[in-house]
Structures are given as C-alpha cells and as structure tokens.
Chain A
Amino acid sequence: MSGVSGKGEGLSNDHWTTIITPTRDRRLVDIGELLAYRDLIALFVKRDFIAQYKQTILGPVWFLVQPLMTTIMFLVVFGKIAKIPTDGIPQPLFYMGGLIVWNYFSGILTQTSSVLTSNAHLFSKVYFPRLVVPIAQVVAGLGRFAIQFALFASLYIFYLSIGMKSSLDWTILLFPLTLLYVAVLGFAVGLIISAFTTRYRDLQVGLSFLVQLWMYGSPIVYPFSLVPEKWRTLYTLNPVVPAMESFKHIFFGAGLPPLSVFGTGIAITLLLLVAGLFFFNKVERTFIDTV
C-alpha cells in the first residue's frame, strides 16, 4: 500500500465532505452548491446561446424573425380579420409586447420540462447539481429576451416619434420584477413537468398543446378588458395574467387589475415553485434508472 499522507491530515476522521445516502436531505435547494457551480452555469448559458445559431447565416438575427413574423400574423388575423380591439394601444406594439414576454415564459417552460430527458446522457455519466441546467436555460432565455426586447424598444421609439404618448414613469423599475416573476413561473411549471416526464412521456407530447392553450388563455392577442366581468375571478387564477397586465401598465399605461390579482399570482407561483422543486428533487437522484 502506498500510504502517502496528504494535506488535510488535520481533519478528524469523521469529517466527511460527502455522504451518499438513499434519501436526500430535506432542503429544497442547496444554494451553496449551486453557487459553487456558477462557472458551469455560465458555460451552459454560453453553450445554449452559441450552439443555437452556429452554422446559420442569420445567427442571432433568428431570434428576431419569430416575433416579427408572429406579430405580422397576429396583425392580420386578430387585428384586421377578427378586429379584436387593443384598448387604444397601437396593434403592432400590443402584439409584440405580449408576445416577447410570452416567449420568454414559454421558452423557459418547455426547456425546463425536458431537462431530465434531454440531458439523460450527461446526467448518467457525471454528477453536478441537476438544477444547473434549467437555471442556465433561464439565463440564456434572458439573453434571447433582450434581443427581442430591443426590437420591441425600437418599434416603441418609432411610435413615440410619430406621436404616441409616453406612459413611462417610475413603474419601469418594476419591469425586472415582472421578468423575474415570469421566469420563476415558467421554471416552476417546467420542473413539475420534467419530474413527471421521466415516467410518462405523454406529458412531453401534450406540452406544446398545453402551451398554445395557455397562450390563448392569457391576455396576449386580446386585452384583459375584453374578458367578461363574471369570468374575471376565474380568469385571474391564470398566473400569467398579472405579468402581462403589469407589462402593459408599464409600457402603455393600461389600467391595472385589482392588487389581489397580483397577490394570487405570486402565491400560485410560489406554490408551484415549491411543488416543482419537491417533485424534481424526488426524481432527480434515481431517474437515470428508469429513463
């Protein structure tokens, strides 16, 4: 036996760095561990971003094509044909604004929901906190959002220059909070779905449908004011509603729904987050055996 004594000889014999047991500790998130892996998060963000547009001619411009084309489509279908009002907000701005926020949300939701199945090859070989991957996706999504937001901002400035009244005030400071809320919501729902897709692939198939339905259940192609009074209580249980409404309030000065709507939204989101982390933790350690 080559008994080389190393550094750390001073450690007592019961001082273990890692103890592997069948069950996980009760903590929902090990923040310290995630921080230790922050370099990996940064690299995943970079990878997500770079890998997506490498070997494409348009590169990051692709991130602009989708909201642009969809806005035009909405303009034609909902604006010109269905003639759905937009509460006096210029239609292109109304659609694009809703769309980019929705894109950020649905992007995080879909990516997070497939995180375990699509990274199984990686997770079956090496350990790192599994949450690193969806967290990186949330951040990478923010990059995409920034690009799309730049498009929205230029359109916004164009409308200001042709006489639209600016409604920007101190509430713009709430904008990052709105984004955070949207990200947490998408992340939470994604985690729940990801935990169940390791067992049931049905969810993955149904997901795109769910996302589409959810979009039409949120005030994106129509204003909140169009929702009949008697349905509003039910409608505002959709946690995306307060995010959309605060975005419209910040940029278009639209009236805010009652504060209770925000309270409900935040409560539902936090509940979903706890549930998401709980289910994710439950499958995370052994999903490799069943996936």
Chain B
Amino acid sequence: MSKVVIAVEGLSKQYSLGAISHRTFQRDLQSWWARRRGKDDPNLPVDGGRRKKMEQFADENGIIHALKDVSFEVKQGEVLGIIGKNGAGKSTLLKILSRVTAPTSGCVKIKGRIGSLLEVGTGFHPELTGRENIYMNGAILGMKKKEIDRKLDEIIDFSGVERFMYTPVKRYSSGMFVRLAFAVAAHLDPEILVVDEVLTVGDAEFQRKCLGKMGDVSRKEGRTVLFVSHNMAAVKNICDRGLRVELGRIVQNDAVAAVVADYLSNAGSPNEEGLVSPGMMPRERGYEHIITDVWIENKEGLRTRTVLSGEPMKICCAFSSKKPISNCGVGFGVENLYGERIFSLNNYMVSGGDKKGSLSSGVAEFRINELLLLQNSYSLTVSIMENGTTTLDCLERVVRFDVLSADIYGTGILPFPEQGKVYVRASIEIR
C-alpha cells in the first residue's frame, strides 16, 4: 500500500458575487450611498445577461461556491486526472493546491514539494535571453540554481531551440517560446506535479513529447501527477484514476476508464438526467428562450432515448416565441460524443422553408426514415432560425440518445461500432 501524499479534507472555496469592491474608494462610497437611499447601485454591471448566468450558480446571498466540501486522497506515484466541464471547479482546485489562492474552509495536506504548471512560461521576461529565462522560470517554479545548472543541458536539448539560447525570447516564435517553457517545466523535479491544460499548445509532435514526459515522470520516477485536461484521450492514456468534478463537487472518483466513459456520456447538459426542461436551460448570450421542449420518438410514436440502428425515428422540437418568427426555420445536428458532427438537417434544406409565412409557436417534427447510425451514444443540438440566416435560439447537445446495434442486413451479423460511424445500404455480388 503506498502512502498518501495529498489529503484534501472538506475543501470549499467561495466567491462573492457583486459584493466585491469596485476597485476605487469613490465608487464604493457611491454604491453604498445609493443602497442607503434604496436606489439601484449605479456600479452594477450593465451586462445583465452575464450576471444572470452567474447568478444561477450563486445562492441567495450572492455567493458562488466554486468548490463545495471536496475531499479526496492521492497516493504516491498515482496519476490523477481531474475532469469536468468549464466552470466545474477544476481550476479553483488546482489553484488552491498550488497555493495561488487560499481556500474558504477545509484544508489540504501535502507531503513533498509541489510543482505547478498552470501555465507554461510563467515569469518569462521578453528582454532576457533563452538561457537567462531558463534560470528565471526554473527559480519561479521553485528550483534551486544548482539544480538548474545540473539540468541545463538536458533542458536545452529537450526544448530543441539550442541555437537561440543567447537570443532574447521576445524574438522567439510562439512555438519556440512554448517549447522552451515546457522544457523547463518538464525538468522540474517536484514530488508532486500539477498540470493544467498545457498540452493544448504546440504541435502534435511536441504534444506527444510532453505526454511521454509526463508518463515517464510518474511511471519511471514514481512521482505523483495531477492532470487537468479536456483531452479525454490524453487523460485516459496517462492517468490511473479519475476525478470528475461537477458544480464544485466531486461526483465520481474511480478508475480512469470508468470516469472518462461516464464523463463522455454525461457531457451533454443538465438536461441529461431530465432535471431541467429545455425551455428552462441557460442560453448562450444573445439567444432567446424559444425552444420549449426537444424529444425523440421511436417508430411506435413513444418518447425514448434509445433507438435501434436502421429504425425510423422522429426528432421533435416544440417552440414558442413572444413575437412571430418570419420564415421560421428549425434545424438540428447530431454529434457523437467526441463532438464530431455526424449529420445536420433543417427545414430550409429539406422542404425549402416557408418564405411568406410567419409563426410564433409550433412543433417541428423531423421524420427520419432509416437511421443509418452505428451503435453509440449521440447528442442532439437544436436551433431556431429566422429568415434562414439569424439564429434566435440554440441548445447545444440538449438531448443524448443511444443507438443500439440491430440486424440491419438480415444476416445475423451486427456491425461493430468500431467499423465506422454510419452504415450504408448495399448489396454485394462476388463474381
């Protein structure tokens, strides 16, 4: 049994919304005076939409719980992947772990030196040369000068920019900059390495190099790594265990394969569990609440989330708008869980639209005669358009549905999901 190197106990972090000061004393006074007289605070953000969006996550006191009573442990040598949607609290967690900010309550106990890589190239100064910046950056990340001296050649080698070591980094291309920065970070020797999304930069070859390095760090050197990423393939590859964070809480703490699988199948939206009706779901800025419901019907006309390959299927979208929509259009797209669009349809394309008419509410039904998808999970994006150009409302990945394999060819041999994304009707003759 290896020992615990990180113990997180009941960690919470709160941010207060709106109650923060306005940065200047005069404005604080102004707001205070306005509130006293019962008037509107003149310094509240005009951007009401965005505020509303944030308020959904805030409690009645305007406090946002970025993390809520989070507890977990990490053992030595473990590579822990932390996944979750944007705003789930992953970055806040890493910020607390790397001591950039302090928690509101709870505590973290750490054994060993922690090196955090929340961003590559932290502290790079454009006027200093590559070599000088290696020292600068290394020291900021917590390395001693002697350590850097010892590893200098290795770092330069790894970066692949040895020819430019005496050039100020402001003359570097962005690619060179990132290479050098990651090279320093990769040679940091902390017992615990915290990495956040650094792999989204650089070219494919360099990314492979980085991932390889991270794998080495844990497997060969027995170091602990905490890795936050949206790249599920990378998480699955290098992590042992996964931590799924949702709305500031840990919802799953399990073997990485299981966590990634569950994350992917839940990647849609709060609607997945049927908790929120599409009409109530938060919209991106600028969209109106027009779509009231979205559902799928099978060939019996029943609402479902599971359809068989090759079966007929109906996608329905109910909408209701305050003002009439001229030449109303309804479109949808089906994506697989990797976010790849498989196909899209809209009524302009299928039936030419209704150039003269206008509608304020209704139900759009798309009848698909034969669903040519292979077994997998898919999600549905629905949008309402006006005059074929303006998108009035759009709900991304609002409904998830599963397609199950069926005996499409009548031979008893089912196509595998691995064989592709779609199937085609065909007859084969061998002569």
Contacts and interface: CB of A to CB of B under 8 A. Distances in A.
Interface of A: 1-6, 8-9, 11, 13, 15-24, 37, 39-40, 42-43, 46-47, 50-51, 54-55, 122-128, 199-202, 285-286, 288-290
Interface of B: 1-4, 15, 20-21, 23-26, 28, 75-79, 95-114, 116, 118-119, 122-123, 125, 127-128, 132, 135-136, 139-145, 168, 191, 218-219, 222-223, 240-241
24 contacts: A2-B218, A4-B76, A5-B76, A5-B77, A5-B222, A6-B191, A15-B111, A16-B109, A16-B111, A17-B113, A20-B109, A22-B104, A22-B106, A23-B102, A43-B139, A47-B136, A51-B127, A51-B128, A55-B127, A122-B140, A126-B123, A199-B21, A200-B28, A285-B101
A39 B25 contact: no
B102 A16 contact: no
Contacts of B114: 18
A51 B125 CA distance: 8
A13 to B, nearest CB: 6
A1 to B, nearest CB: 5
Contact of B127 (A17, A54, A199, A201): A54
Given A3-B77, A5-B222, A123 B100 contact: yes
Given A4-B76, A126-B98, A202 B122 contact: no
Contact of A19 (B76, B110, B132): B110
Which applies to chain A's interface (DSSP): helix, strand, loop or mixed? loop
Contacts of A288: 95, 100-101
A5 B20 CA distance: 46
Contacts of A8: 111-112
B24 A200 contact: yes
B222 A20 contact: no
A11 to B, nearest CB: 7
Contacts of A37: 139, 142
Contacts of A5: 2-3, 76-77, 222
Given A16-B109, A22-B105, A202-B25, 14 more contacts: A3-B78, A8-B112, A20-B110, A21-B103, A40-B139, A50-B128, A54-B127, A122-B123, A125-B100, A125-B122, A127-B98, A199-B23, A201-B23, A286-B102
In the A-B complex, the 3 residue pairs with the closest CB atoms: A4-B222, A127-B99, A4-B77
B118 A126 contact: yes
A5 B109 CA distance: 19
Contacts of B145: 39, 42-43
A254 to B, nearest CB: 41
B104 to A, nearest CB: 6
A226 to B, nearest CB: 36
B127 A1 contact: no
A47 B102 contact: no
Contacts of B2: 1, 3-5
A289 B101 CA distance: 7
B110 A17 contact: yes
A20 B108 CA distance: 5
B101 A3 contact: no
Contacts of B4: 13
A2 B240 contact: yes
Contact of A1 (B75, B118, B132, B144): B75
A74 B241 CA distance: 70
A55 B170 CA distance: 12
A125 to B, nearest CB: 4
B100 A126 contact: yes
A1 B78 contact: yes
B280 to A, nearest CB: 30
B135 A289 contact: no
A17 B112 contact: yes
B78 A200 contact: no
A2 B140 CA distance: 30
B127 A50 contact: yes
B222 A126 contact: no
A20 B107 CA distance: 5
Contacts of A290: 20-21
Given A2-B219, A286-B101, A126 B116 contact: yes
Contacts of A286: 101-102
Most buried by B among A13, A19, A22: A22
Most buried by B among A1, A13, A124: A1
A1 B240 contact: yes
A136 to B, nearest CB: 11
Contacts of B144: 39
Nearest to B126: A51
Nearest to A51: B127
